[in-house]
Structure 1
Amino acid sequence: MKRTILFFLSLTLFLSGYGQAYHTLSGTVRSARTGETLINASVKVLNSDEGVSSNEYGFYSITLKDGEYEIEYSAIGYETVIEKITLQSNIVRNIELPDEIKNLETVSVTANTRGRTISGTQMGVERLSTNEIKTIPMLLGERDILKAIQLLPGIKQAGDGNSGFYVRGGGSDQNLILLDEAQVYNASHLLGFFSTFNSDAIKDITVYKGGMPAQYGGRLSSVLDVKMNEGNNQDFELSGGIGLISAKLNAEGPIQKGRSSFLLSGRRTYADLFIPLSSDTSIRDNRLYFYDYNAKINYKLSERDNIYLSGYMGRDHLKLGQQFGMDWGNITGTLRWNHIFNSKLFSNTSLIFSDFDYNIRINNSSNDLSIFSEIRDINLKHEFQWYTSGKHTLRFGLNSIYHTIKPGEVTSSGETSYNDFYLQKRYAWENAIFATDTWRMLPWLNVTYGLRLSSFAVLGPGDFYEIDGDGNITDTLTYKKGQLVKNYINLEPRLAVSFILNPTTSIKASYVRNVQNLHLIANSTTSAPTDKWIASTNIVKPEIADLVSLGWYKNFAGNRYEFTTEVYYKKMYNQIDYRDGAEVFTNDAIETQLLFGIGRAYGWELFLKKKTGKTTGWISYTLSKTERKINGINDGAWYNARQDRTHDIALVVNHQLNRRWNLAANWIFYTGDAVTYPSGKYIIDNQVVFYYTKRNADRMPNYHRLDLGATWVLKDKKKFRSELAFSLYNAYGRENPYMITFRQNEDDPTKTEAVKTSLFKFVPSISYNFKLK
């Protein structure tokens, strides 16, 4: 017994001494010019393998043995700061990094490598800043975040000029899009040609296309996490621009210098203002425009506490004469509180609001018809980051969302008004708890493992149905308000491993399971405001996906070049498709129009990037296959998903000609979309009816396009900068088909002809941008 007591006493003294021999360096990294926190800034111990990155709120923590160290603080676009410290107790160092003074030989304007580190375990992640995408030529000169990420491997655009995207075989609804943690359900303007994100208000863009961390959930394919600027707390700044179709203005500055700040940003298209001047009376009453506003304020309560309040509102308006009108848009709001408990424990608490709705108005001489649909969320999120030691970083928390879905409300008025029609509202309560540990197991081995436990409670009131195999209703179950209809509980494990072969090379592997309980019912391959969200029910089960990835990462030529290759395989369950001839938009029992089955997607991604020098850029290539297998479609055999594309190539080049001129180009090629063409026809009552057999067995023509751009800096003074940006979208005038339809030949009705519709040929643009510092 004495020996046992002595052993445990010695062990306690040893552990106590061990604890005293280590201390923690922590703090927040900010921009010296604006006071904004810097995401993913590098904090490295020189002459060692020790180092960490700041989190999404700028906080960092690193635990080291007692001693003297040189600490290097760095971030892309900022000068590096090196400090000598003597660590004998816990130290707080809040660091401000000055803006980088670039010279022509070292300028870099392409995507950075914050997501593609050699030692980190995270796979399939890309991070961009608005400075890194501003030179990429885009449609009508708009700096569009969603179109920029479509140039990365594994991310495919939904169509010509469209801001929708597909990731590793998933549908467009399988991407979680967040703006300051608030979900954006429809992230496009002008029927999909522009995104809702005004680049002047955006600070950071992170895309997880595989192996997303456990704090994210609710979607199968990817997470697009967009952070808004916090506002300059040092000086007032005014910036803006005017282009061919839109103008924007951004103001930011201190409320109380060094302690609080604000951001106000607005954008609007104005082509509609000139329509009334047209001599053509048939278009004089038409309208099509959008606007969006971003606002944010933040306040530093103390050295340990910060409060942020941010909001977004955007809306589109479409009007065709006096007969038809439609408007749609998003509203989001986030109230966030950051608290630093101590040098190792950081917390974030957020109350989040999100709303998307559309309203359609149809007017004629006898009645006025209105169609309204909406989805609304109230969301509470609370999480902790615990830097337990130099080897472990834990992240854990909870998330609770209450969903209210109005699928459709049809009302009418006038002389011959109809009975009002209301599709049933649906209610659901979604909850999750999650935990992740990043473990530096060995100098050459890093492991991240985590678990997300999610539940989705379908709630009354409402009628829920039982159906047979042919989609016929066999029973109707009625539930009262707040009564539990069905509760889906799922475990979502995560595992990622990084094997460091040498300082410039690593191999990574990951596995992740994701669950999705909200599903988009769409009538086209592109994003439309009238697409309808539905929740899981007693019949519509949660979609589930298991994704396995393996990758090889290599930096070479003095870290000027980066090469990455990844392969993946994704198995999907409870996938949704439509019965032949389905009617989904006016059907209250929508389950009767749907079929369910499995899916699979697999592919190989290659990415080569040059990061520094006068000429920078990248080339990405994706070889992939995406299929579905659903009883009732294609005789139960595998068939192509509509987002299936075999080849996808993107080439991006930027060249800094001199201090005033920057030239840019990108070239895109991808295999034509999978479509269903008629395989025959027959005539009923002198009307031609087309006959269809296998679904998605045909292909649109291959797509390719070259875009050119140039930026001319007019003035670049200490207090004022201005520039002209030129672009030519589709420079060699390729008439890529937007859709192909079939009709009878006017001269010979026995013949059927295909008609190709193209949207864009040559689209030049010019815009003026300025910044008053």
Structure 2
Amino acid sequence: MILSRKETNTGTGKKYALHGTIRSAKSGETIIGATISIVNTSTATTTNEYGFYSLTLPEGQYTVQLSAVGLETKQVAVDLTKDSQLSLNLEEESKELATVTVTASATATSRKSPQMSMERINVRSVRNIPVIFGERDVLKTMQLLPGVKSAGEGNSGFYVRGGTADQNLILLDEAPVYNPSHLLGFFSTFNSDAIKNVTLYKGAQPAQYGGRLSSVVDIKMNEGNNQDLDVSGGIGLIASRLMVEGPLQKGKSSFLVSGRRTYADLFLRWLGDSSLRNARLYFYDLNTKLNFQLGKNDQLFLSGYFGRDVLSQQDIAGINWGNTTSTLRWNHIFNEKLFSNTSLIYSNYDYKITTNTEATDYHIRSRIRDWNLKEEAQWYANTRNTLTFGLNAIYHTIKPGEISVGNENEMVSEDLQDRYSLESALYASNTWRASDKWSLTYGLRLSAFTILGEGDYYHIDADGNVTDTLHYNRGEVVKTYIDPEPRIAASYQLNSSSALKLSYSRNVQNLHLVSNSTSASPTDKWVASTNIIKPEKADQLALGYYKSLNDPRYELNVEAYYKTMQNVIDYRNGAQVFTNEPIETQLLFGKGRAYGMEWLFKKKAGRFSGWVSYTLSKTERQIEGINNGQWYNARQDRTHDIAIVGMYQLNNKWTLSANWIYYTGDAVTYPTGKYRLDNEVYFYFSDRNGYRMPNYHRLDLGATRQLKKGKKFSSELNFSLFNAYGHANAYQISFRESETDPSKTEAVQTSLFTFVPSITYNFKF
């Protein structure tokens, strides 16, 4: 927020703190990233993720200006003669043609902040971007930003700056979400109706975040309307959703319940194939939240997420998986300069696979479960320094697999060893505004990962053979890894419209996703660091240039980065990661590097808005035992990645949108020869990831028709066409022996979608 002086101070030399919480007048929701300004000075700050701000100023008279995306700017005269509270509610903008703001981070305040490689996504803009099946999706929107690469056709998984999918920390109200996808990735787990704010960190993450190498996606749920009862929802071709929110006690407490379900399985019953009539193919998710204002200095939140996917065919086979999270959070304002947040967090991800034959039934279960305690405080020491410090402790329980085999008369179970660990951290950072031109954030996160018994741990040789087994009892310490994670970032104001930023950060990761498939699967296994699997580490250096053009609605951001990685994991040739125990025998370890440049040009507001993003990058690995020890392309390596997004408000009734996407095909390993053994054909494979999938491109179109807009009821129709020109993008390429000429090998391309139209009816009352 920015404060501007109206008059000179009294000359007493006394300073006082002005603090408060900024909320929406319509819903009572706290506003993240609101800007406050006192006209004619460069003093500035922003509200934190809980809507709180504090600013220390000399005694005097000020005109305080408050503004936030989508809300009307307000000015208030303040005579600051003592520590004072200024908490305000901002009204929604009232315009004939509402302008669409793409992100909230493109402000003068954000240019002055040392924080770089960050994008704050405005959830309101997500509704206009065309996506598959017409479902609004914040994770799909993120894939249109530079440095963020889609994991594949229709997939909600993503890669950031050369990292793998598991190197992204995804938080929903502070709770880790281990599998953020529905229906094998066609939908994300996050229902946009229930989401308040999304912040993406591609590098230089603040010290309070840890545990992943590549990125943080911090998603905050709506708190619930404490002023009026609201009902909203949508009915689509494949899914419907409904949200109800309102006050428990007006102005003091609120509730929110938001649910969504697909009904693809209902359409299967209309098909002629009897085997599909009884198939089950659906997902559901439920977001809930309670919000209590306990007094002017205390607020309590209880939020939860429950989601499940079910895919099965009669009683033959099936898989279901799901996430459960819960967060109990207490915000407390100790005084005008000290704010704290205390959270108790639960997270669980599990899946179950069932296969039934006439003779035998198979059941496989796996789970990762966390209990998490966080304590964090922000101290607004003075005008130039803001300190953040805290601690975090997570107790992990990982069940790699429980396998049951048998029939209705007898069932035999075998458990892979459960793994227990404690992940803890202490952290502190300070944002120092050294001068009107220079700002600096520096901090340290000290992380510890303690591996705990009960279980067996191994020593293996260079060929992956077990040479020794050590048994540990319940609660015994197997090993502890302690790693310092320094972070530093600086910004320099070149002038009123442009800035340079530089950052360095180290991140450490102790949970790893094991998969030898080409795309993320709900059955991928999470494993923790062991005496053999070392913590993965990444050091990233980034440089950025940020420019607001002559018209402040236009902005250009350019960033370059270089990242080195240690202890990265890949698989031995011919690895079978789900049938061999211990898993360490199937893995190899080495180093990696990723570097590139990212361009983002945005038109932030007006009847026409949107952005163009381009990423030029390289990602490589070097692991002894793979590719003769030479550097090779990581699977997620892509040279070019382009996204063009546009939204145009034609009139009061119609909003049009489109996006075009192009990227270099993924690196893949293709066979270079074959041989026959016992009448079976086996392929020789080339250098690891030595070939490319075909380049990917598609055009999506969308249109929204406002049907009715009033204070008590509004409705709209949303039309979208995914892959409008029907390009058959490769989802998978497999190889087989030619039926007509056995001496030849055929490459077979599988494509998922060509034209996918959808229509959704949205309403609110």
TM norm structure 2: 0.97
Look up the SS of the partner of 2:483 in the other structure: strand
Within 1, Cα distance between the matches of 2:280 and 2:111? 51
Match of 1:710 in 2: 703
Structure 1 stretch displaced more, 320-329 or 454-463: 320-329
Change over 3 Å in CA distance of 1:211–1:729 after alignment to 2: same
- How far apart are residue 109 of structure 1 and its match? 4.2
Look up the SS of the partner of 2:540 in the other structure: strand
Q: Could you tell me which runs of 5 or more consecutive residues in structure 1 were left unpaired when the two chains were aligned.
A: 1-16
Match of 2:72 in 1: 79
2:470 aligned residue (474, 477, 487): 477
Tell me if 1:108 matches 2:100: yes
Match of 1:227 in 2: 220
Match of 1:635 in 2: 628
Alignment of 1:293-372 (within 5 A): 293-372=286-365
Offset from partner CA, 1:583-607 (integer Å, 9 cap, x none): 1113221101100000000000001
2:460 aligned residue (458, 467, 481): 467
Within 2, Cα distance between the matches of 1:115 and 1:425? 48
Tell me if 1:616 matches 2:614: no
Change over 3 Å in CA distance of 1:386–1:600 after alignment to 2: same
2:525 maps to a residue whose letter is K
Tell me if 1:647 matches 2:640: yes
1:431 maps to a residue whose letter is S
The alignment of Structure 1 onto Structure 2 pairs a total of residues equal to 755
1:699 aligned residue (678, 692, 695): 692
1:242 aligned residue (215, 235, 239): 235
- How far apart are residue 553 of structure 1 and its match? 0.4
Tell me if 1:521 matches 2:509: no
Alignment of 1:187-586 (within 5 A): 187-414=180-407, 419-586=412-579
Q: Name the Cα RMSD after superposition.
A: 1.3
Change over 3 Å in CA distance of 1:311–1:713 after alignment to 2: same
Within 1, Cα distance between the matches of 2:281 and 2:241? 17
Match of 1:98 in 2: 91
Offset from partner CA, 1:623-645 (integer Å, 9 cap, x none): 00000000000000000000000
Structure 1 stretch displaced more, 113-122 or 508-517: 113-122
Offset from partner CA, 1:700-721 (integer Å, 9 cap, x none): 0000000000000000111111
- How far apart are residue 372 of structure 1 and its match? 0.3
Look up the SS of the partner of 1:82 in the other structure: strand
1:80 maps to a residue whose letter is T
Within 1, Cα distance between the matches of 2:181 and 2:340? 32
- How far apart are residue 244 of structure 1 and its match? 0.8
- How far apart are residue 736 of structure 1 and its match? 0.3
Within 2, Cα distance between the matches of 1:543 and 1:514? 8
- How far apart are residue 502 of structure 1 and its match? 0.5
Match of 1:169 in 2: 162
Within 2, Cα distance between the matches of 1:107 and 1:171? 36
Structure 1 stretch displaced more, 414-423 or 601-610: 414-423
Match of 2:682 in 1: 689
Match of 1:767 in 2: 760
Structure 1 stretch displaced more, 438-447 or 275-284: 275-284
Match of 1:185 in 2: 178
Within 2, Cα distance between the matches of 1:112 and 1:680? 53
Look up the SS of the partner of 2:207 in the other structure: coil
- How far apart are residue 23 of structure 1 and its match? 0.4
1:107 maps to a residue whose letter is T
Within 1, Cα distance between the matches of 2:276 and 2:121? 41
Within 2, Cα distance between the matches of 1:421 and 1:632? 32
Within 1, Cα distance between the matches of 2:663 and 2:531? 39
1:726 maps to a residue whose letter is F
The answer (yes or no) to whether the contact 1:29–1:58 under 8 Å persists in 2 is yes
- How far apart are residue 415 of structure 1 and its match? 6.5
Tell me if 1:730 matches 2:712: no
Match of 1:45 in 2: 38
Change over 3 Å in CA distance of 1:699–1:603 after alignment to 2: same
Look up the SS of the partner of 1:387 in the other structure: strand
Match of 2:5 in 1: none
Change over 3 Å in CA distance of 1:383–1:20 after alignment to 2: farther
Look up the SS of the partner of 1:212 in the other structure: coil
Look up the SS of the partner of 1:79 in the other structure: strand
Offset from partner CA, 1:293-340 (integer Å, 9 cap, x none): 000001011100000000000000010232101110000000000000
The answer (yes or no) to whether the contact 1:115–1:127 under 8 Å persists in 2 is no
Q: Could you tell me which runs of 5 or more consecutive residues in structure 2 were left unpaired when the two chains were aligned.
A: 1-9
Within 1, Cα distance between the matches of 2:88 and 2:514? 48
The answer (yes or no) to whether the contact 2:302–2:327 under 8 Å persists in 1 is yes
The answer (yes or no) to whether the contact 1:424–1:588 under 8 Å persists in 2 is no
Offset from partner CA, 1:267-310 (integer Å, 9 cap, x none): 00012123233332121121110000000001011100000000
Structure 1 stretch displaced more, 551-560 or 453-462: 551-560
Look up the SS of the partner of 2:731 in the other structure: strand
The answer (yes or no) to whether the contact 2:263–2:281 under 8 Å persists in 1 is no
Within 2, Cα distance between the matches of 1:115 and 1:369? 56
Match of 1:3 in 2: none
Look up the SS of the partner of 2:275 in the other structure: coil
Match of 2:22 in 1: 29
Identity %: 60
Within 2, Cα distance between the matches of 1:256 and 1:23? 34
Within 2, Cα distance between the matches of 1:581 and 1:635? 15
The answer (yes or no) to whether the contact 1:510–1:550 under 8 Å persists in 2 is yes
1:68 aligned residue (61, 68, 87): 61
Tell me if 1:127 matches 2:120: yes
The answer (yes or no) to whether the contact 2:516–2:571 under 8 Å persists in 1 is no
The answer (yes or no) to whether the contact 1:115–1:122 under 8 Å persists in 2 is no
2:470 maps to a residue whose letter is L
- How far apart are residue 51 of structure 1 and its match? 1.4
Within 2, Cα distance between the matches of 1:192 and 1:115? 33
- How far apart are residue 114 of structure 1 and its match? 4.9
Within 2, Cα distance between the matches of 1:749 and 1:139? 40
Look up the SS of the partner of 1:737 in the other structure: coil
Look up the SS of the partner of 2:519 in the other structure: coil
The answer (yes or no) to whether the contact 1:634–1:693 under 8 Å persists in 2 is no
TM norm structure 1: 0.96
Within 2, Cα distance between the matches of 1:167 and 1:571? 14
Within 1, Cα distance between the matches of 2:354 and 2:477? 35
Look up the SS of the partner of 1:432 in the other structure: strand
Within 1, Cα distance between the matches of 2:15 and 2:52? 20
Within 1, Cα distance between the matches of 2:107 and 2:194? 22
The answer (yes or no) to whether the contact 1:118–1:503 under 8 Å persists in 2 is no
Offset from partner CA, 1:664-721 (integer Å, 9 cap, x none): 0000000000000001111222322110130000000000000000000000111111
The runs of 4+ residues in structure 1 deviating greater than 3 Å are 17-20, 415-419
